[in-house]
Amino acid sequence: MDERSACSASHRERGPELSSRLTEDHRSGSEDIELRPTAELVRIMVEDVSDVASALLSIVPAMVSLIEEVASRMGRGGRLIYVGAGTSGRLAQLDAAECIPTFGLSEGTVVAVLAGGIEAADRADEGAEDDQEAARRRLAQLDLHANDTVIGISASGSTPFVLEAVKVATARGTFTAGITNNPDTPLSRQVQLAVEAPVGAEMLAGSTRLKAGTAQKVILNTLSTVVMMKLGRTYDGYMVGVRSTNKKLIERAQGITQEITGLDAAAALLLLKDSDWNVKAAVLSHFLAVEPLQAHARLADAAGNIHSVLGKVRKEPE
């Protein structure tokens, strides 16, 4: 046996000892993979998306349950709190950050607790995922209550930082869920609701920023978007909660207002300006024939749920 063959055999022998987790498996037929033509490597990466799609379709029932739980709790004033490390934590942080301008949420409504803190957002801090004391400290700072939801995200399902955070949340009586890419993990066994999306071996064994990360991104997108839809933060598929904080977003808000109300561009812009650049208030002001200030008040009474306001109006006797 030559040196190179001996090296490959050694890796195969260590594989089962390294981990029995699917996310750590060595992909079948991957010998010499990095020496193959670029076109073949690209094709393999693109075709891997089918594994992600299959895994995601298998978790639809679990996602439905999770969305209903989160929406119910947020409707009572609860927060959505993600906990993760590495890729999982950074994906969680991205989703949490984008919920604020997309849906017009207040700061702190959707929170991401990333192992290693904000510094780990743009640089790897792999040791942070083992820091259980940091997890206890970070969760204690959140002052958890019963209407909150804490979701641990871990491809392996065994990240110490995430497991400890979920343990703290459980002790506080907070609803817990877990998102993993392996079946029957410590995280799944510890939470009240588990979402398991096993995507199989990665093109690079153990590199869960690939298929596992893609699956997690879709899961988080689906969770936050559908929850916000359930809470009336969208209207007819439009981002009526969008914050008009720059020229592009002002133009988007104007376009949304125009399309929903049927007003021309100038009238839509004027209505939006009078409504303090709040699309939902502008739309309600138009539909209900009330002043923008009154539209804002009705939204506040309905916790920002535009459908709730319109529903109450439709039920009022003439």
- Enzyme catalytic residues: 98, 129
* Full DSSP string of 248-285: HHHHHHHHHHHHHH---HHHHHHHHHHTTT-HHHHHHH
Q: Which two tokens stand for residue 286?
A: 């138009």
DSSP secondary structure code for residue 79 in this structure: -
Helices (H) and strands (E) in the chain, counts: 14, 5
> In sequence order, which residues have a C-beta less than 8 Å from that of residue 315 and are 6 or more positions away?
none
Which three-class secondary structure state does DSSP give residue 128? helix
- How far apart CA 38 and CA 11 sit, in angstroms, is 24
Q: Tell the burial category of 176 from Cβ atoms under 10 Å away from its Cβ (0-12, 13-18, 19+).
A: buried
Q: Which two tokens stand for residue 164?
A: 């400890």
> In sequence order, which residues have a C-beta less than 8 Å from that of residue 296 and are 6 or more positions away?
275, 276, 278, 281
